[in-house]
Amino acid sequence: MKYGLSQKKVFSKKKEIPITDSKQKLWRNIGYTLAFLIFMGLNLNLSTSDFYKHSYRYVFKSDGLGYYQYLPTWFILDNLDKQMKYAIKLPNGNMFNKYTWGTAFMQAPFFFLGHAYTLAKGLPTTGYSADYGFFIALGAMLYAFLALCLVYLILKRYVTPVIALFTVILLYFGTNLLFYTVGEPAMSHVYSFFLISLFIYKVPAFLEKPGIINSFWIGFPLAVAVLIRPTNLLIGFYLVLYGVTNFRLLGERFKFLLRSWPYLLLMVVIAVIVFLPQMNYWHLTTGDWFVYSYKYSAGGNESFIYWNNPKIFKVLFGVVSGWFIYSPVMILSMLGLILMIYRKHIEGLAILVVFLVILYINASWWCYTFDCAFGYRSFIEYYSLFAIPFAIILQQLVPQGYMIRKGVLIVLAVFFSYLNIRMSILYNWDPCWFGPNWTWKNYEKVIKSSLKGGTLQISVHKLEENQ
């Protein structure tokens, strides 16, 4: 084994011939440009017509406000310890934000664009106006597009370009990734999705040729992803298990990582640098450099209280934000994962371990449904990983030349994408489908209302009394 990768063939598809013809490169670049314009156009149309038709200032709400508020509080008010809008007042009089600054770090370029635009127009620079909201939404769309491009490149290692593209389209329009890109762009999920996609894309390069550059390309996105959400550290299993199919290869991987200790140390240094502003904020507000921030919460000490009784079934199939209930296309991903394990696919073990661990962790959280969520939002971060078995099962279901199967698959993809978009719009207008009063009867009426067509103007919480 060399550089941590098995000597046997890593990728299942035939090695691609490098593109050398300048015309082919030109057409490829034109294709990416057109894809970008179409993607942004569709999202902006959804955003302005269905999600923020009244004002982009509604981007800043709830948890999204908590993530974002570091930027206006720091760069406009210059008062991090007293001026937080969505925070807990401590006994020392300081306002404590339990959310970390990782999401704000990713939003910063678009915050500054919004700030510059507002200054140029001579408008009040509050940091929370519709102009700022528009640029934050634009940034979320851009991160989503870049992440999907990375997913496409990842999938091309295993499946045909057509299947890779089809998977990417269905992953976006057929799951709650769309809602948390367009409907709630200030939330953390699309940023974590981009960072983890970059990490997954670069892991093979690091294992093949460890060095300073490749160490940065996996160390930096991992550090920021962990800052955004500490449980994102679990994606680190992917570095350990990528290409590992037996105990012998696992032992060789550990030996490789031990030999690569200088680069692992560099990643630790990168992580410390990334965390320094957060540690400074914690010290400024509490006097401590390290803080479990969720102990400062209006609901008390939020923690993993279901370690001994994880709510796994409700996470996957619960009427309140169940993953397969609100993003049913992801069932294909799990079927693909079973196939990968059965065939001892090079990534099967890595994906399985990451999935099982994050499932257990999330199912153990005090609020395992992540209330006021459209679908199970805490899995969105890992969609680039789940896209691999998704694409592999699609390629098995639709082998080359089977036109009828392809037609059926396209029809189903359009249907589930349409349903997801309609449900996303309905949820945006009438949010927070949770609690004991949210039952399967409510869910049934959501489906019926979403499939009716036309404008969704009736409150889901009032559907029963109106139908």
pLDDT tens per residue, range 268-280: 999 999 999 999 9
Share of the chain above pLDDT 70, in %: 91
pLDDT tens per residue, range 105-128: 999 999 999 999 999 999 999 999
Q: CA dihedral in degrees (22, 27, 28, 34; nearest 10)?
A: 150
d(CA 351, CA 417): 25
Count of alpha carbons within 13 angstroms of residue 160, beta-carbon side: 10
Say what the pLDDT of residue 459 is.
55
State yes or no: pLDDT of 234 exceeds 70: yes
Q: How far is CA 160 from CA 14, 267, 395, 417, in A?
A: 10, 34, 8, 22
Share of the chain above pLDDT 90, in %: 70
Say what the pLDDT of residue 243 is.
92
Say what the pLDDT of residue 461 is.
53
Say what the pLDDT of residue 9 is.
40
d(CA 256, CA 279): 32
- Whether pTM > 0.85 for this model: the answer is yes
Count of alpha carbons within 13 angstroms of residue 166, beta-carbon side: 21
- CA angle 388/390/391 to nearest 5° reads 70
- Mean per-residue pLDDT for 364-383? 93
Q: How confident is the model at residue 462 (pLDDT cuts 50, 70, 90)?
A: low
Helices 130-155 + 189-208 axis angle, to 10: 30
Say what the pLDDT of residue 94 is.
92
State yes or no: pLDDT of 145 exceeds 50: yes
Under DSSP, is residue 88 helix (H, G, I), strand (E, B) or coil? Answer: strand
Say what the pLDDT of residue 299 is.
67
d(CA 425, CA 236): 35
d(CA 110, CA 112): 5
Q: How confident is the model at residue 1 (pLDDT cuts 50, 70, 90)?
A: very low
State yes or no: pLDDT of 202 exceeds 90: yes
- Mean per-residue pLDDT for 21-43? 84
**What tokens does 105 get?**
């770090």
Higher-scoring residue by pLDDT: 462, 80: 80
d(CA 171, CA 178): 9
d(CA 190, CA 377): 10
Under DSSP, is residue 2 helix (H, G, I), strand (E, B) or coil? Answer: strand
pLDDT tens per residue, range 68-108: 999 999 999 988 888 888 899 999 999 999 999 999 999 99
Q: How confident is the model at residue 8 (pLDDT cuts 50, 70, 90)?
A: very low
Say what the pLDDT of residue 19 is.
47
Say what the pLDDT of residue 296 is.
83
Q: 120-123 long-range contacts, Cβ below 8 Å, gap at least 24?
A: none
Burial 403-432 (b: 16+ CB within 10 A, else e): eeebeebeeebeebbebbbbbbbbbbebbe
Mean pLDDT of the chain: 89
Say what the pLDDT of residue 454 is.
52
State yes or no: pLDDT of 467 exceeds 50: no
Say what the pLDDT of residue 400 is.
67
Helix runs in 47-160, H state only: 62-68, 70-72, 102-121, 130-155
Q: Which amino acid is at 289?
A: W
> Taking a C-beta distance cutoff of 8 angstroms, is the pair 263, 207 a contact?
no
CA nearest neighbour of 64 among 180, 183, 192, 186: 186
Q: Residue for token digits 């490098």?
A: 18
Under DSSP, is residue 4 helix (H, G, I), strand (E, B) or coil? Answer: coil
Q: How confident is the model at residue 172 (pLDDT cuts 50, 70, 90)?
A: very high
d(CA 57, CA 106): 19
pLDDT tens per residue, range 295-331: 887 666 688 999 999 999 999 999 999 999 999 999 9
